[in-house]
Amino acid sequence: MVFLMRYFKLILFSSCVLLTIQLQAQVVLPSNKTKFESLFNSKAGSYTLLNGDPIFCDSGRLKWLDDTQPDLGFSLGNLITFNGLHNGTQTNKVPNFCLVTTKFKYTSEGVAMTLRHDRCKNDDDALDTTKTLRFLANHKINFTINNNQVECTFELQRL
């Protein structure tokens, strides 16, 4: 009987530990463009580049390209731009260039844009890259470009 009681306490303790770990785990939930726009509006402002390559990232404002038309996209500073926000995947044939495919994935912490150029007239124009903007804790932003090994971190400027 004593063995069963200890076994029960061990199972109860283990269950509590696992539940605590599960509750504290950060979960990135799927989202949509409308929810992203609300998240973006709550994070807009002036940001300082903390670290990263100044060829790809610079300090500046996180803002919509046009406040009345969020679908046009947004920028962070002068070097980071996400154009033509949409849901899902869109493919367009650009005459004398390539087949251009853009895909946006919105999450509860930011957005990822995949850009692909294929069936290009010139093979040097082929491209497959993903850039991601994530809102972090403590008023920070992380920006990455996967195929260039670019990673930049920004912090909201305080008045």
The 10s digit of each residue's pLDDT in 91-123 is 999 999 999 999 999 999 999 999 999 999 899
Assess contact for 107 and 26: CB atoms under 8 A. no
Assess contact for 45 and 137: CB atoms under 8 A. no
List the end-to-end C-alpha distance of the chain, in Å, as a whole number.
65
Could you give all domains of the chain from N- to C-terminal order, each with its CATH number? Answer: 30-156 (2.40.128)
3-state secondary structure of 112: strand
**Residue 31: band (very low, low, confident or very high) from pLDDT cuts 50, 70, 90:** confident
The 10s digit of each residue's pLDDT in 47-80 is 999 999 999 999 999 999 999 999 999 999 999 9
Q: What is the pTM of this model?
A: 0.78
